[in-house]
Amino acid sequence: MKKTIFVFSALIVSLLVLFKISTYSYTSGNSRIELVISGIAILFFGIGWYINRRSASKKNIEPEVINLDKLDDLGISKREYEVLVQIAKGLSNKEIGDTLHLSESTVKTHVSNLLVKLDAKRRTQALQRAKELNIIAI
Amino acid sequence: MKKTIFVFSALIVSLLVLFKISTYSYTSGNSRIELVISGIAILFFGIGWYINRRSASKKNIEPEVINLDKLDDLGISKREYEVLVQIAKGLSNKEIGDTLHLSESTVKTHVSNLLVKLDAKRRTQALQRAKELNIIAI
DNA sequence: GAGACCTTCATACTAAAGTACCAATTTGAT
DNA sequence: ATCAAATTGGTACTTTAGTATGAAGGTCTC
């Protein structure tokens, strides 16, 4: 985010400089006008490239957009979802409890509820279902 | 993020307009030059956008190719891999035995070997590792 | 404020999963 | 043909996972 602002600010500044040069060349003859035009062309080519790359890379990180609306449909609560994410990371109930500051007992409760809501018998099946429903990252 | 890009783009456009107005006052006769410059700018912006989009979409066509060569590196046998695939489907050891016509005991042996070879403590962690290594489908 | 959830945790239990051995075939390569 | 690895299966055991049930505090809505 900060980087984006920085890059755009730099672009604006360079634009300012380019236009300043262009206005100079008006008064002192049209000798450098081609240079200015090509500079602007390169600059905007870069801008177009950059903007598209940003939006494209975002799409690549999460090709299937995580559908958080489905969580409501399935009745999965916020905390339960957090547990689900940790399951996907391959953690045990004990480890999930440590990372989320919960007792193993509480994690078991959340997992049990998740299994019912995802219509699964095991946590591995829950992961499979969650992937089908696009509610967790691949 | 998109909003930020939009705002900055709008800023650049307004800058363009401002400079156009300012240069009008300098040389009220040569209004064609600015038109040409801004036209070129827009054109190259579009070109940059388009080219990047082409290269980005090419990458998307083959997002994650399953790397079966890594199976050799990890020493995972054919049968073990078949078990791994069934684990990814969310099946239990008993169910895997039924689908592959094996005893649960044999499945357990394969799973245990898989866990060692994938450096995992649980089958869920094995799935996570296998996904990282691109040896199973997403 | 009563009811409906969510969150947290506990106990006690059953069911899987996983480990550590061992052992008999089968397959593949040298 | 021989040797190593793969495949299959077993027993006995420990560890997780999952179920059932209860309970208490918090939040939000009607």
List of E strands, B19-132: none
- Are residues A73 and A56 located together in one domain of the fold? no
The string of pLDDT tens digits covering residues A68-85 is: 788 989 999 999 999 999
Q: Which amino acid is at B5?
A: I
Does some domain include residue A138?
no
- Are residues A36 and A81 located together in one domain of the fold? no
Task: State, as a whole number of angstroms, the distance between the CA of B110 and the C1' of C21.
Answer: 15
Q: Which of A15, A38, A61 is the last residue of a domain?
A: A61
The string of pLDDT tens digits covering residues B74-133 is: 999 999 999 999 999 999 999 999 999 999 999 999 999 999 999 999 999 999 999 999
Nucleotides of C under 7 A from a protein CB: 5-12, 16-22
Q: Which of A12, A42, A61 is the last residue of a domain?
A: A61
Of A5, A40, A121, the CB nearest to B41: A40
Comparing C-alpha atoms, which of B36, A21, B56, B75 is closest to residue A13?
A21
A5:B9 CB<8 A: no
Q: CATH number for the domain including A99?
A: 1.10.10.10
Distance between CA A93 and CA A31 in Å, rounded?
73
Task: Give the domain range for residue A25.
Answer: 2-61
Does some domain include residue B24?
yes
- Cβ atoms of B52 and A48 within 8 Å: the answer is yes
The conformation of residue B121, written as its DSSP 8-state character, comes to: S
The string of pLDDT tens digits covering residues A105-129 is: 999 999 999 999 999 999 999 999 9
- Number of structural domains, chain B? 2
